[in-house]
Structure 1
């Protein structure tokens, strides 16, 4: 009978699991609108930039709402009935004001859950009450194929 003794083995420490955070996948070069902008202006920018919505800020730069293509439809329909192709209504008349925001330090998995819960396409990202970015559903979808199996 042969005995083998290899001695004490050192266990290699596992690499810490790196958190996948909202701040790493959010957009920071944002298009924003003011409450006093017109729906005409919004539609022009949304079409030109190929985006479907953006945050709305007040004069002091505080987030007060979100305006989206869907929000603009009300003014477009109104224009049909008044036989005008101009949409002079103000953003503040149509924007969504019940805004749910995310923290930049939130896990991307938790953010994905928020998208499922609220069925909306974008969340503004606030840090200390200031707008620092926006996370869209597309940002989340683009992030997950890049993840390594060790991050799960």
Structure 2
């Protein structure tokens, strides 16, 4: 499964010159956690998240809401998306494997990732999207992998079982190349954590 199979599209975007308030309204209205920031040519220049928009908007002093804060003067609080966004965001491509997308999101600790093609944003993948396809029961994983193996072989040559996210495939292989293909097929099933296949050959 690829990023293009689970991404949301079209994508809600915002300009760097947009106000923090308008971006917050868009995030709330569309029930998303972050927005890609694009320039006038629709090229990705950053990401702005809920936490970015809240930054400098929450009083540091817990008691600040019960007393009048001194006037700090104009210009000290960010007003535009460009001032609070994260530049050079982590991205992925439409053809990236879902497991690769999940790994990058966890590695960089981001909750959503723009899908970029030719410099433009064509979709966005969130952790919720990944949870929907990757956190599944062993029986579901076994059934999906068995279907893929049967399609590849043109019949039932191998039996796939999954325990704790680990794939076990029984049956003979003509050679190591065929065994490698089965390993690749197993790894393309979202939710598979590891693959354990014996290098057996038919007598």
Range class of TM-score, shorter chain: 0.7 to 0.9
* 1:1-80 → structure 2 map (5 Å cutoff): 20-77=1-58
1:97-131 CA-partner distances (Å, limit 9, x unpaired): 03111011010011111122111101111112221
1:63–1:131 Cα contact (<8 Å) kept = yes
**CA RMSD, aligned part only?**
2.2
CA distance in 2: counterparts of 1:129 and 1:43, whole angstroms: 25
Structure number with higher relative contact order (C-alpha < 8 Å, ≥ 6 residues apart): 1
Match of 1:142 in 2: 132
User: Match of 2:58, SS?
Assistant: helix
> Is 1:123 matched with 2:104?
no
Matches within 5 A, 1:87-126: 89-126=79-116
TM-score, structure 2 as length reference: 0.58
Cα distance in 2, alignment partners of residues 50 and 128 from structure 1:
27
Report the Cα offset of residue 46 of structure 1.
Answer: 1.2
Q: Which runs of 5+ in 2 are unaligned?
A: 146-188, 193-203
What's the CA shift string for 1:42-69, capped at 9, x where partnerless? 1111112221111001111111000111
Asked whether the 8 Å contact 2:11–2:124 carries over to 1, the reply is: yes
